[in-house]
A = this chain, B = another copy of it.
Amino acid sequence: MTNESVLRAVDDDARRQAGSLLRTGRSAALATLEPATGMPLASRIAIAPDFDGAPVFLISRLSPHFAALEASPGCSILVGEPGRGDPLAHPRMTVVGEAGILVDDAHRAIARHRFLGRHPKAALYVDFADFAFWKMNVQRASLNAGFGKAYALTADDVLMDLSEATSLIEISCDTVDHMNRDHADVVALFATKLLGQPSGAWRIASLDSAGMDLTDGDVVRRFWFERPVPSGEDLRELLVTLAGKARQIAG
């Protein structure tokens, strides 16, 4: 999407940065087409990453972007917060695709859990009749990692391959609940010792084959595993190992 002469070759660092932006963003700007005028409209949505990293968002039928997506599902989202200093020095990514309402009950339940892990206050309205979960089926993305660092990414570059992750998807929500409920001390060490974050009310927001996303309610931080774990059993073993490692760092 950027002039080709300024694009860099896509490497694993760019892919990981793209994955981190998708998995740590709490909100995004959504660009849709206004049905009556065809004008491009930018609006704010709260987001969460599906297991594969694709953006999921909960929106109301009363909002203009809901009607816009029903009329024309092609859209894009901008992720990556500007932060302090020069707003264009901070990495951001435009993700392009088609959005659709999540209708499969099992898929919706997982998306709901991952969304509420990041947006607990949405529990107040998540089950209202006028709200629905949408997922973007990603087609491509444009990563801008700062001046002169632009990458054109494919869907495969930014999303996780789920072909071997089925059993892990199934148990991931229960594992998150178990860790947050029964091992809050370990979760706190993950945040402070493995990720170097200040102490706070850290919880696991979501788990996937390649890492875990921790939140204190204001920010989300991602811990990438050294290598993806194929099964639920591998994940549990890894969490025990990481707990030991975090305790060791804590001394």
**Nearest CB in chain B: distance from A13 CB, A:** 21
Q: Are the CB atoms of A31 and B42 closer together than 8 Å?
A: yes
Contact of A76 among B2, B39, B80, B142 (CB under 8 A): B39
Q: Which chain B residues border A82 with CB–CB below 8 Å?
A: 26-27, 44, 81
Jot down 15 A-B pairs with beta carbons below 8 A, ordered by A: A26-B82, A31-B31, A31-B32, A31-B41, A40-B74, A40-B75, A41-B94, A42-B78, A43-B78, A44-B144, A81-B81, A84-B218, A86-B119, A86-B122, A87-B119
Indicate if the CB atoms of B87 and A27 lie closer than 8 Å: yes
Contacts of A84 on B, CB cut-off 8 Å? 218
Query: Which A residues form the contact surface with B (CB < 8 A)?
Result: 1-3, 5-6, 26-34, 37-44, 46, 62-64, 74-78, 80-82, 84-88, 92, 94, 96, 119, 121-122, 142, 144, 217-218
In order of increasing CB-CB distance, the 6 nearest A-B pairs are A29-B29, A27-B87, A31-B40, A31-B42, A42-B78, A40-B40
Given contact pairs A27-B82, A29-B78, A88 touches B46 in the complex (Cβ within 8 A): yes
Q: How many copies does the complex hold?
A: 2
Q: How far is the CB of A36 from chain B (nearest CB, A)?
A: 9
Contacts of A86 in B (CB 8 A): 46, 119, 121-122
CB distance from A87 to the nearest CB of B (A): 3
Using known A-B contacts A27-B87, A96-B41, A119-B86, determine if residue A2 contacts B64 with beta carbons closer than 8 Å: yes
